[in-house]
Chain A
């Protein structure tokens, strides 16, 4: 334990973000183990350890990723961004056409040799946020310009979101909103932001139209969406509410969820309901507080960050995580229709966890250099004041 504390002391960057990261990771192991109980029994002959071990391995991989990303000076991400974009666009195209179909949706790619599926949209999220942050940062001088700033920023956003949307509309919409907020924070003219909101609505209607057109209907999985909007997921949502109600104030206790047997994808989509059932209202509020605290810390980075790129980057990555978390929670408490989005860091979702950890690592890298810059500033002013005194 003392070595763990020692290690924690030696970590640079925002200590609070580190703490939030560790606490949520720990929570994920507990809750995935519990929630997957019924599913695990169904598919692995009662081998509940299977999910626990899988989640632990993913977490270790994730933490390693976080550490690597945190070590790298965030300035370099600015240079990596365009390269990633060049890779990601063909990859998304390829997945859309040749990818593996899981749950009626073509969003998976099998990595050769290790035989594991992953979603290219997970890399695309990080890549696009890096790229938008870079674009916003280098155009700060003339950011209100339409041709010089707005267009070059928005084109890749539309392209990437458009490629993700057919197979995974929720993720595309979420990414689009994230980029919109980044542009808003990144001082893009309110006019254009409003235009963007309008464009988003247009895009949505086009998709619905394409979906209704028989030729493309199956490709756009419109049935799933119509069924969501018509409220045929009511049963699921009711089960989720029952889970929350079962938890009352302090919950049924770890591993005592009953609704995990009933809720489909209890370990992913409806994990928040299971948290509430096992840890009660208190546990539920705690999770929301954690994500909100993460956002607070990132705003704090923004206030202290001397460079626009770092500020917007940290904000973008953080927003993406927090929006997804809130979307997931909102589904469980029946504020929005079922989206199929997981609770970042906590849901067992395979490779997406790695990319969430990557985001956290980059945020921590920014905060580390913010601290360093501040230290240098203090040293500098010290030297200056010393010089003045002499």
Chain B
């Protein structure tokens, strides 16, 4: 019976509990109904007002010089705002004093701690009393680095995060050019509301990365903050560009051009240096006169300004003559003192030579307009002759664009006797022969001279050699041969000889250098010859290559309307010479064709022990002619010197162990360490000298410091 009573008591109590739960369930369902149906419209409307998707630009990729120096990079900058209303009274009061002291000390000293405190407390209390009197968004500091943000996150209140500490971090990026003005027009500008120019524009699709959307919520009138911590929000970073630009060469070119353009007070000037073998552009400078008087990179003349080339074009005609006739360097022509009438127009030589007869070589050496025009008329007779002449120009790659990567290159203007019949007159051929009635950009002219230097192999000029995203190469741009033989080998050699003679004994005598042997051609082009009443304006240029024995670089220097002289030889020539000499001094080892010297050097001193990315070493080792024993085809290798040879072994990297990065370059070391999941902190520059965690230790996401020297 007691058993029965107990059971009943237990059951009654259980039913009571059940009843309570049924009641609670009913309340919940009613509440649910209320929210979903009764108040439904209000909530749904509020939902739309509260949040919005905001596009977020990805971090833009970097632009690098050939050696990995940064030409353009985006640095992350952060702004901090504070919402002083979200924290509890308790934690706000406990943290506000030390927070304000830290803000003044580390973030923004424009206000004293007590001023900060007043500002934040006023905003907080104002908001609590009446929303309009306070604010949920107080700017704290702008343009902070990641390190500063990292520190700020540990401040009292801020360390409680956005929802209970009130810290709001906005991330933006700023595009910086570490080399400032150097090549800046070619590197380009990433503009928001105008078309992007230079490489920034040409490779925008790669550089810009993937745009993402993030949710932002409204906290105050017009104040939107991201729902999730923006520093944790990942967008896919843009790819990096590796250009052919050589920072050392660029530096020389820029400074030499600048000093001459200042002296000459020219309207503008440009200079381009090209790697003979590949067509890669090593340096490109464009200086234009500003209204304020100084000079700056504001227009890419080398790529975009097409003008009558003047005397540098005589070499086009010379090569055409060599290819298309049996002309000999000793063939003579009547120049009648440098003044002769062609049809109804007088032609004059710009250099006074006072001779009546010149041979073919002398015509080039003395840059005789009359001479080259007469030869052209003599050898390209009739319509067939003219067609032949133009077809040679086409064969030399002079009738097409260079198709350099950046935008704004005009088509060269080369008349055709049939297609442009209306524009073709009796004077066209003689004038075209010495660089008029046609129009080209400096780069288009340089392409031809580079071809001559490269023994007739015409290379496509290019600026970008690799596009890569993190460690992955997206596109590798190899040097491109446009025409494998512009002309016969012997004719190219003759032309090279002519160019050497110009510097040896012709109009380019001023370029004779004790340091480096230069070959090239002066160019002096009258610009405004149709306007007789104006002051005579000229473009002065020099195009050529060096060193003559084994050409490594070709270059063009162009001055637009120089004021203190107008000859190519005296205005552009000195700049060419100075640049060539300085490059030669800096890059002497590369230019010197005598490889034996290296071997000797290497025998005396073997390279130290290295580790790194195998393909990087492959390039290096190919370059230094050493006995190399390759024991591994692994991607990461250890390199060890052994008496007279190097050995390459597979680098030991285990997934869960801290790898040894001593001896590695920064890029390789960071890549490897981050790949195994370590947080890398870097100190110093150069090669890794020391690492804070011993190799072989277990990886568990800790921070490793590497010290470089």
Q: Which residues of A contact B (CB under 8 A)?
A: 42, 140, 181, 184-187, 212, 222-224, 226-227, 230, 232, 235, 238-239, 241-242, 244-249, 258-259, 261-262, 276, 280-281, 284-285, 288, 292, 295-296, 299, 302-303, 308, 311, 315, 319, 322, 326, 329-330, 333-335
Contacts and interface: CB of A to CB of B under 8 A. Distances in A.
A241 B43 contact: yes
A229 to B, nearest CB: 9
A308 B90 CA distance: 48
Contacts of B14: 185, 299, 302-303, 311, 315
17 contacts: A186-B10, A187-B10, A227-B87, A238-B46, A245-B39, A245-B42, A245-B44, A246-B43, A281-B33, A281-B37, A285-B32, A288-B28, A299-B14, A299-B18, A311-B10, A326-B25, A335-B31
Given A187-B10, A232-B163, A244-B36, 6 more contacts: A239-B50, A247-B36, A281-B36, A288-B28, A295-B18, A295-B21
Contacts of B31: 333-335
Contacts of B50: 238-239, 242, 262
A329 B43 CA distance: 18
B48 to A, nearest CB: 9
Contacts of A223: 88, 90-91, 160, 164
B6 A187 contact: yes
B382 interface: no
A302 B51 CA distance: 50
Contacts of B515: none
Contact of B44 (A187, A230, A246, A285): A246
B329 interface: no
B330 interface: no
A362 B299 CA distance: 81
A245 B36 CA distance: 4
A373 B597 CA distance: 101
A232 B51 CA distance: 18
Q: Which of B6, B32, B33 has the most chain A CB atoms inside 10 A of its CB? A: B32
Contacts of A276: 32, 36
Q: Which of A244, A280, A311, A315 has the most chain B CB atoms inside 10 A of its CB? A: A244
B630 interface: no
Nearest to B228: A42
A303 B10 CA distance: 9
Contacts of B586: none
B47 A242 contact: yes
Contact of B35 (A232, A245, A259): A245
Given A244-B43, A245-B47, A303 B32 contact: no
A334 B39 CA distance: 13
A259 B233 CA distance: 18
A244 B35 contact: yes
A241 B35 contact: yes
Contacts of A329: 28
Interface string B147-167: 000000000000010011000
Interface residues of B, number: 48
Contacts of B164: 223-224, 227, 232
B37 A248 contact: yes
Interface in B82-128: 86-91
B32 A226 contact: no
A333 B11 contact: no
Given A262-B51, A285-B32, A242 B44 contact: yes
Contacts, number: 136
A333 B43 CA distance: 12
B643 interface: no
Given A42-B232, A241-B43, A227 B88 contact: yes
Q: Is the interface of B mostly helix, strand, loop or mixed?
A: helix
A242 B10 contact: no
Interface of B: 6, 9-11, 13-15, 17-18, 21-22, 24-25, 27-29, 31-33, 35-37, 39-44, 46-47, 50-51, 86-91, 160, 163-164, 215, 217, 227-228, 232-234
B13 A185 contact: yes
Nearest to B29: A285
Nearest to B27: A335
Nearest to B227: A262
A248 B47 CA distance: 13
Contacts of A241: 35, 39, 43
Nearest to A193: B13
B88 A232 contact: yes
Q: Which of A187, A212, A258, A259 has the most chain B CB atoms inside 10 A of its CB? A: A187
Nearest to B22: A292
A386 to B, nearest CB: 26
Contacts of B37: 248-249, 281
Q: Which of A224, A227, A276 has the most chain B CB atoms inside 10 A of its CB? A: A227
B83 to A, nearest CB: 11
A286 B386 CA distance: 92
Contact of B47 (A227, A235, A246, A280): A246
A281 B28 CA distance: 11
Given A281-B32, A281-B33, A326-B21, A261 B10 contact: no
Nearest to B51: A262
Contacts of A227: 87-88, 164
A325 B40 CA distance: 24
Contact of B217 (A262, A285, A303): A262
B88 A319 contact: no
Given A242-B50, A247-B36, A299-B18, A184 B13 contact: yes
B52 to A, nearest CB: 11
A41 to B, nearest CB: 10
Contact of B21 (A187, A242, A292, A303): A292
A258 B22 CA distance: 31
Nearest to A308: B10
A226 B39 contact: no
B18 A296 contact: yes
A102 to B, nearest CB: 14
B32 A333 contact: yes
Contact of B90 (A186, A187, A222, A335): A222
A248 to B, nearest CB: 6
A285 B468 CA distance: 54
Contacts of B41: 245
Nearest to B21: A295
Given A232-B86, A244-B36, A333 B46 contact: no
A329 B29 CA distance: 10
Contacts of B28: 288, 326, 329-330, 333, 335
